[in-house]
């Protein structure tokens, strides 16, 4: 096991009907909240109106900022920062899925940040230019789409459309103070969004499971438990979407995927997210779908580094003795069975010239995510040629 430090201060308020707590939670933090949600917020207007009313009841003024989009844009974060500063907000509430929560976190940090906000974001090709924030306004989150675990971690992702970079910030100052996980808010989620959320969440565990330098026995069991529970529950939810108990199980399982508990001591990497981010930055591929596409391709290219790991996955997650290639085929079939894309060419707006698609993605990966060693960090660092082969396998 690697040496590590562990810290996660997020307080979780979990349960059906717990949205009602948002007013008193906000009042404990301040007087004026910037409420961040989607630009197309119509489908959750009732929830947002409830949040505003609950806050008002407890003496907290709410400034609505409904501008977040899937794959959050730095331009929207800059706009939110302007509003938060002008209105002197003393907290940020994010009500939505991963993109809303990430937008809320970055606005909270950006409001207190001096200088170009893009410099807050991690940039491997130009790390000297990165200056992470060291403080943020208090962040309160209401998760309405289980997927990213943003509700329980200190990460946020954003895209800069000028430089075509989708990259991230991980810093303790953007841990939420509190996150409300109310499964009642997720019962009307469409099947595709529910499934994409689970594929994203599975990918967070899969990344570490198949790239870890050290197998930590308890982390193995935790990861296998999270994966098999999510896989079982998403299938049941797609048949019974209004089942609050199942939605609650899934909501908590998703929070555990990337809240930090699976990582300590493993020394795992996230190469699949890097390749997937390049797809989203270029063609707006839904985050979960981009991972549904990259995971099988990555596995096909790299399983020989660690075949026993795949056999273990087969035995403990699928409950069967299988070869690595059988495990990969079954996993890919599971993703497509949920209705999520497993090939880039199944997505809209992908150019017909596939050679050009491969070149564009490869150039973006090298430019944004490759390290100073000219490779993409993974269990065995991946060369440009290897990443090219993974992209080709994902078409």
Q: Which is nearer to Fe ion, 18 or 200 (CB)?
A: 200
- Sole window of 56-64, 199-207, 245-253, 331-339 interacting with Fe ion (rule: CB under 5 A): 199-207
Rounded Cα gap, residues 193 and 23, in angstroms: 28
Q: Is 29 helix (H, G, I), strand (E, B) or coil?
A: coil
Q: Which is nearer to Fe ion, 200 or 249 (CB)?
A: 200
Distance CA 316, CA 238 (A): 23
Q: Which of 177, 191, 174 is nearest to 135 (CA)?
A: 174
How many amino acids of this chain bind Fe ion (CB under 5 A)? 1
Q: What is the nearest approach in angstroms of Fe ion to the Cβ of residue 353? A: 28
Question: Contact, 274 vs 365, CB < 8 A?
Answer: yes
Beta carbon of residue 185, minimum distance to Fe ion (angstroms, whole number): 20
181/202 Cα distance (integer angstroms): 19
- Interface with Fe ion includes 200 (CB under 5 A)? yes
Nearest approach in angstroms of CB 302 to Fe ion is 19
Of 196-204, 277-285, 307-315, 324-332, the segment contacting Fe ion by CB under 5 A is 196-204
Q: In terms of CB distance, is 133 or 288 closer to Fe ion?
A: 288
- Name the CA dihedral angle for 334, 338, 344, 349, rounded to a multiple of 10 degrees: 180
Q: With CB under 5 A as the contact rule, which of the stretches 200-208, 222-230, 241-249, 318-326 interacts with Fe ion?
A: 200-208
Instruction: Give the CB-nearest residue to Fe ion.
Output: 200
CB of 262 to Fe ion, least distance (A): 13
DSSP 97: S
Stretch that binds Fe ion, among 27-35, 56-64, 197-205, 304-312 (CB under 5 A): 197-205
Q: Comparing C-alpha atoms, which of 74, 104, 111, 75 is closest to residue 90?
A: 111
SS3 (DSSP) at 289: helix
CB of 365 to Fe ion, least distance (A): 16
Distance CA 177, CA 171 (A): 14
Q: Which stretch binds Fe ion (CB under 5 A): 104-112, 192-200, 301-309, 338-346?
A: 192-200
Residue closer to Fe ion by CB (options 200, 364) is: 200
Please work out, in degrees rounded to the nearest 5, the angle formed at the alpha carbon of residue 321 by the alpha carbons of 316 and 326.
Answer: 100
Judged by beta carbon, residue 25 or residue 200, the one nearer Fe ion is 200
Residue ranges binding Fe ion (CB under 5 A): 200
């Amino acid at each position: 096991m690697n040496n590590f430090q562990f810290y996660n201060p997020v307080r979780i308020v979990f349960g059906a009907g717990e949205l009602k707590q948002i007013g008193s939670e906000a009042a404990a933090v301040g007087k004026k909240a910037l409420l961040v949600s989607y630009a197309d917020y119509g489908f959750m207007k009732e929830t947002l109106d409830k949040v505003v009313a609950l806050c008002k009841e407890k003496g907290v003024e709410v400034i609505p900022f409904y501008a977040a989009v899937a794959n959050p844009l730095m331009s929207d974060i800059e706009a939110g920062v302007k509003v938060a500063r002008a209105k002197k907000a003393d907290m940020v509430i994010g009500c939505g899925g991963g993109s809303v929560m990430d937008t809320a976190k970055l606005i909270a940090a950006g409001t207190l940040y001096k200088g170009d906000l893009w410099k807050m974001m991690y940039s491997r090709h130009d790390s000297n230019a990165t200056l992470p924030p060291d403080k943020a306004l208090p962040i309160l989150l209401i998760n309405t789409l289980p997927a990213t675990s943003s509700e329980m971690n200190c990460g946020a992702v954003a895209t800069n459309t000028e430089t075509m970079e989708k990259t991230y910030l991980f810093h303790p100052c953007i841990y939420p103070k509190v996150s409300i996980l109310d499964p009642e808010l997720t019962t009307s989620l469409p099947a595709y969004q529910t499934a994409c959320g689970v594929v994203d969440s599975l990918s967070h565990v899969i990344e570490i499971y198949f790239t870890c330098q050290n197998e930590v026995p308890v982390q193995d069991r935790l990861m296998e438990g999270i994966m098999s529970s999510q896989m079982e529950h998403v299938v049941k939810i797609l048949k019974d979407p209004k089942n609050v108990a199942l939605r609650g199980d899934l909501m908590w399982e998703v929070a555990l995927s990337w809240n930090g508990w699976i990582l300590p001591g493993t020394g795992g990497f996230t190469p699949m997210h890097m390749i997937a981010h390049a797809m989203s930055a270029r063609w707006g591929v839904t985050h979960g779908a981009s991972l549904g596409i990259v995971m099988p391709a990555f596995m096909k290219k790299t399983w020989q580094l660690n075949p026993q790991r795949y056999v273990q996955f087969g035995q403990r997650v699928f409950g069967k003795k299988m070869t690595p290639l059988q495990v990969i085929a079954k996993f890919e079939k599971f993703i497509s069975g949920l209705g999520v894309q497993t090939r880039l060419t199944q997505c809209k707006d992908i150019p017909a010239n596939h050679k050009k698609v491969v070149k564009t993605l490869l150039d973006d990966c090298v430019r944004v995510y490759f390290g100073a060693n000219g490779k993409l960090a993974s269990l065995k660092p991946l060369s440009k040629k290897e990443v090219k082969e993974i992209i080709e396998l994902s078409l």
